[in-house]
Amino acid sequence: MAYELAPLPYAYNALEPHIDEATMKLHHDKHHQTYVTNLNAAIDKHPELAAKSPEDLVRHLSAIPEDIRKVVQNSGGGHVNHTIFWQLMKPAGGGDPSGPIAAQIKADFGDFESFKKLFNETTVKQFGSGWGWLIFQAGKLKIVTTANQDTPLSEGLFPILGNDVWEHAYYLKYQNLRADYLAAWWNVVNWDEINKRFATAQGK
């Protein structure tokens, strides 16, 4: 097996009541596991790629053999995106941002409430399955979305934070109310991890 699913960094019920235990179990053990399984099946056909990190695979999709490129885009992207996502949340998270990311949000969006509103409004409109992301480009924070499991890494961008708006991320608890899920998600965000990722995005 080239790639493995790491356990969640907290208990399945640790993000209650904002994200429920059943959703976390399904999302991690079934959905994320399936991306890893399908990525491994593709890499089995080209074992020379197994030495690469999953991030390196999706950073250079054009270098992936054509017969497995789409699987690497979808399942490699799914693996990378979810690995980031679990780390971006923590029990008793949320609250106002702290550290360097707080100052950058203030500089680029005015204040945290305005940033959150714009992130939620942009991400709620992603048609079908996809993700909302915060990236850092030319010295500024920007909000972008991707479809399916496409990742900003494939565009040469480094995601600082991201939220999964596939229905599997919220439908058990929030049904069709994606906006309610997006609003609740800020109660579990891990600003320490986001500050670490912001430092990396700045090349620090």
- Which residues of this chain interact with Mn ion, rule CB under 5 A? 164, 166
For Mn ion, give the closer residue by CB, 50 or 179.
179
Q: How far is the CB of 135 from Mn ion (least distance, A)?
A: 19
For Mn ion, give the closer residue by CB, 13 or 129.
129
For Mn ion, give the closer residue by CB, 164 or 193.
164
User: Tokens 């305005």 appear where?
Assistant: 114
Task: Classify residue 100 by its DSSP letter.
Answer: H
Q: Are 33 and 17 within 8 A, CB to CB?
A: no
Q: How far is the CB of 65 from Mn ion (least distance, A)?
A: 26
Q: How far is the CB of 204 from Mn ion (least distance, A)?
A: 29
Q: Which residue is nearest to Mn ion (CB)?
A: 164
Q: How far is the CB of 8 from Mn ion (least distance, A)?
A: 13
Q: Are 147 and 130 within 8 A, CB to CB?
A: yes
Q: Are 190 and 120 within 8 A, CB to CB?
A: no
Structure tokens of 64? 């992936």
Q: What pairs with residue 145 in β-bridges?
A: 132
